[in-house]
Amino acid sequence: MASLAILLKRQTAEKINEKITVQVKGRPYTVDFNKKNGGDYKKMKPKIKIVFLCTGNSCRSQMAEGFARYFGGDGMEVYSAGISPAGVNPKAVAVMKEAGIDISAQISKAIDKNILDQADYIITLCGDARESCPVVAGKVQKRHWPLEDPAGAEGSDVEKMAKFRAVRDQISKLVQDIIRELIE
């Protein structure tokens, strides 16, 4: 069945040198038909599903989702969620925009047990999320990045923005590191 779907989409995809995604046993696979990259429909790779969790899904997990979508490209399915969703923090949107990544369309979401059970990796970004994360399927790997909550920063607006930038930069490095690790 998957071969038929690939062959049907292959004709169109080859004409425009694109990537397509097909479902095989409920799991998405990316197929690259770009001839410049030696695209071969037989070399399918499953998308890696990552979920970033924090308390409010307003800062850290939103920035991590934005970086993972940016750096992971078509090879990843990325989600973020919170224990108690609190809306996306405008300062997080602003510092990500400075880094060239627009997260303004992302929304703050509650944890979805179905998404967690289908994930390859769950990364918690605060202690509350780590302690409150529901029990998930045994195949799911968990990681914890204990990052300070920039929303709790005190001081002037300049000092608060500096804290958001510092946490953003930590998240950028951590996301790039894990993507390198998972792809290699």
From 31, 88, 133, 174, active-site residue:
133
- Give DSSP secondary structure letters for 19-87: EEEEEETTEEEEEE--GGGT--TT--EEPEEEEEEESSSSSHHHHHHHHHHHHHGGGEEEEEEESS---
Residue 59 known to be catalytic: no
Residue 126 known to be catalytic: yes
107: exposed, middle or buried (Cβ count in 10 Å: 0-12, 13-18, 19+): exposed
Residue 54 known to be catalytic: yes
From 6, 50, 53, 54, active-site residue:
54
From 53, 83, 122, 126, active-site residue:
126
Catalytic positions are 54, 126, 133
